[in-house]
Amino acid sequence: MKQLVLAGAGHAHAQVLLAWAKAPLPGVNLTVVSPHALAPYSGMVPGWLAGRYRFESICIDFQALCRAAGAHWVGGSVARLDASRRQLWLDDGQSLHYDVLSLNIGSTLRPPDLPGSLVLPLRPLGSLANRWNTVLRGWQQAPPQERRPLAVTAVGAGAAGFESVMAVVQRLRRMQPERTVLGRLVSRGDHWLKGASEPARRRARRALERADISLQLNQDVSPQALAHASPMGQLVLWATGAQAHDWLTDESRRPGLAVTPDGFVRVDNCLRSVSHPNVLASGDCAHWDSPLPDGAQGLAKAGVFAVRMGPLLWHNLRAVLSVGEPRPYRPQRDYLVLLSTADGSAIASRGRWGFSGPWVWRWKDKIDREFVGRFR
């Protein structure tokens, strides 16, 4: 029997598992490794932060999917990989042999130490649930003498920073209207919502104003800058650019595997590692090595790519396991971005267009529920 190992409960792997449940490959054992059985779907995370969804309803249950697909589920994280020996090790020391390995392990964030502030890194998504529940409990249960005003700062003005500050600030205010919650969205650069159209950005600007959240560009968030805001409590939503997981940034833990200087797995246009074609990578953890039509370097770390790569990953895994020819992935030039504003409305952006309104939220909600519903 050949061994196929899927590492990570990412968006592309969910689709591979679904396809496997319908048409498993004869002569191949499938094993799935990930630290959490419940994998949140990124498009619904802001709605969950805003209190519109329960956590379970935004998640894909990988353990249940494995049962349905006849795959073996292993709870754990890959901590080391020897691609020349086709062997990987988990954080508990367990080792697994594979013939073909697929990595869809997402990305992480390493926020700096900000003494006096409660820092909530928005990636990895799997660890966010516990942290957010702790914040909510603290907010709800604080005794009256500790009910200080709170400043919520989202660091990183991409889609994740924008959506999360809108969701968190408005939810905390709704929960305790008598308490002061200040909100701000901060970016080191002079750009924000990169990739969104100008009309969409204007609508996002108005949504921030409606929610009384300030936008501060060309600003660095330092412990000193936050200390100035005392005696307020500080909650920092860390939403800067995606970073590769530790074991990928450390050469001794993945000898020989080709990665970028910052640890993303370099793949060809068929999602195969450029150093080890029996290792495939998709979604945030992969770096697209091929030229892009607009001359850009790599693809954006966005869930939309991880989702789109799923069907092609399934095709190419079968090809590497010797059923057919691999097909190249053709990244879209522009794609639909739907941003929730956590006030019953959402913003749509595609190409030069931008729209907003409650109907956009209903549309987004329908698309997202249908996506997650496919895996139930």
Ligand X SMILES: Cc1cc2nc3c(=O)[nH]c(=O)nc-3n(C[C@H](O)[C@H](O)[C@H](O)COP(=O)(O)OP(=O)(O)OC[C@H]3O[C@@H](n4cnc5c(N)ncnc54)[C@H](O)[C@@H]3O)c2cc1C
Residues that bind ligand X (CB under 6 A): 7-12, 33-36, 39, 42-43, 45-46, 77-78, 104-106, 122-126, 159-160, 163-164, 245, 283-284, 301-304, 306
Nearer to ligand X among residue 89 and residue 148 (C-beta): 89
CA atoms lying within 13 Å on the CB side of residue 105: 25
Helix 125-141 vs helix 159-175: crossing angle, to nearest 10: 20
CB of 247 to ligand X, least distance (A): 6
Nearer to ligand X among residue 164 and residue 234 (C-beta): 164
Q: Which residue minimizes CB distance to ligand X?
A: 283
φ and ψ at residue 146, rounded to 5 degrees: -105, 10
Distance CA 183, CA 153 (A): 6
CB of 256 to ligand X, least distance (A): 18
- CB–CB of 185/161 below 8 Å? yes
CB of 35 to ligand X, least distance (A): 5
Nearer to ligand X among residue 54 and residue 228 (C-beta): 54
DSSP letters, 102-133, are EE----B--PPP-TTEEEEE--SHHHHHHHHH
CA 243 to chain centre: 11
Distance CA 10, CA 335 (A): 20
Distance CA 129, CA 127 (A): 6
- CB–CB of 65/18 below 8 Å? yes
CB of 153 to ligand X, least distance (A): 15
DSSP letters, 263-276, are SPEEE-TTSBBSS-
Tokens of 237: 């939503």
Helix 303-320 vs helix 11-22: crossing angle, to nearest 10: 40
Nearer to ligand X among residue 9 and residue 312 (C-beta): 9
CB of 11 to ligand X, least distance (A): 4
Distance CA 48, CA 185 (A): 19
Nearer to ligand X among residue 42 and residue 349 (C-beta): 42
- C-alpha distances (whole Å) from 28 to each of 31, 98, 137 are 10, 11, 46
- C-alpha distances (whole Å) from 77 to each of 34, 81, 235, 317, 319 are 6, 11, 29, 21, 26
CB of 332 to ligand X, least distance (A): 12
CB of 294 to ligand X, least distance (A): 18
CB of 287 to ligand X, least distance (A): 12
Nearer to ligand X among residue 114 and residue 302 (C-beta): 302
- CB–CB of 32/9 below 8 Å? yes
**Amino acid identity at 251:** E
Nearer to ligand X among residue 159 and residue 259 (C-beta): 159
CB of 108 to ligand X, least distance (A): 8
Nearer to ligand X among residue 132 and residue 139 (C-beta): 132
The DSSP symbol for 312 reads: H
Nearer to ligand X among residue 94 and residue 180 (C-beta): 94
Tokens of 103: 């990595």
Nearer to ligand X among residue 7 and residue 150 (C-beta): 7
CB of 97 to ligand X, least distance (A): 16
